[in-house]
Amino acid sequence: TKKIAIAIDGPAGAGKSSISKVVANELGYLYIDTGAMYRGVTWAVLDSHVDVKNQKDVESLLPSLDLTLEPTANACKVFVKGQDVTNLIRQQQINENVSTIASYKGVREYLVERQQAMAAVGGVILDGRDIGSVVLPKAELKIYLTASVDARAKRRWLEVQGTSNEQSLEDIKKNVESRDEMDKNRDESPLVCVEDAIVVDSSNMTFDETVEHILHLVQERI
């Protein structure tokens, strides 16, 4: 069977990363969580007390950032200057600032280049907002994974229950909506559903059904 590239895009909380992880494991593919990279940059910006709104200052941090992604079986670990920030990048403060950081051209160029280099090995699944449109425009399978905003907020809420990143359902819903709004309306690589993407609306599908459906789409292409 041939090894293909799979692009999964969609709004916040659609389940892209948890679904991608399982699909990658099933296929023996490499999973790359590109959102974690934008979150890693955001963590570094906040940690160095740079003003998030100052694009120039944010971009001037990039050359010394030393951001690395270490894909493991259950998660994509993120390191900034050798520090493991995998859990820290899920904090509310990151959720609130990441879409501003991700709107900057220099940040996107820096990360897209890294993502393309990591994907070059083949047999990969990348999830994000601009994978099918910018990062892997030639991906053999492009999926736009979406769900209603209520379904997405509820899932995110369940995910953070019992962790140090607990938030109210209402706060999560507001954050999901405001990130969607920013991600869809920015000038640089906005979230779009590209023409050759297959839309998967998981509002009324279970996790396992969604995984099965995507695996079926992969089978048709390998």
Annotated binding site for ATP: 10-18
Find the shortest distance in angstroms from Cβ 64 to ligand C5P: 21
What's the half-sphere exposure (Cβ side, CA atoms, 13 Å) at 70?
A: 10
Q: How is residue 27 written in tokens?
A: 């296929």
Residue 215 has, within 13 A of its CA and on its CB side, a CA count of 16
Binding to ligand C5P (CB under 6 A) within 75-104 occurs at 98-99, 102
Q: Looking at residues 141 to 180 of the shown chain, list those that interact with ligand C5P (rule: CB under 6 A).
A: 179
Say whether residue 38 binds ligand C5P (CB under 6 A).
yes
Q: Report if residue 110 touches ligand C5P, rule: CB under 6 A.
A: no
Report the distance separating Cα 49 and Cα 100, nearest Å.
15
Yes or no: say if 13 and 176 are a contact pair by the CB < 8 Å rule: yes
Residues near ligand C5P (CB under 6 A), total: 13
**Residue 191 vs 219, nearer CB to ligand C5P:** 191
Residue in 91, 128, 145, 156 binding ligand C5P, rule: CB under 6 A: 128
- Of residues 19, 175, 183, 197, which one binds ligand C5P by CB under 6 A? 183
Complex with ligand C5P: residue 129 or 173, whichever CB lies closer: 129
Report d(CA 203, CA 40) in Å as an integer.
Answer: 29
> Nearest distance from residue 219's CB to ligand C5P, in Å?
26
Q: Least separation, in Å, of the C-beta of 117 and ligand C5P?
A: 15
Query: 203 or 219, CB closer to ligand C5P?
Result: 203
How many CB atoms lie under 10 A from the CB of residue 219? Answer: 10
| Closer residue to ligand C5P (CB): 159 or 212 | 159
Burial class (CB in 10 A: 0-12, 13-18, 19+), 49: exposed
Determine the Cα–Cα distance for residues 62 and 66; give it in Å rounded to an integer. Answer: 8
The token pair at 121 is: 């090995």
Q: Would you count residue 5 as binding ligand C5P (CB under 6 A)?
A: no
Edge-to-edge strand order for the sheet containing 30-33? 30-33, 124-128, 5-9, 141-146, 198-201
- Residues lying near ligand C5P in the complex (CB under 6 A) are found at 12, 34-35, 38-39, 98-99, 102, 128-130, 179, 183
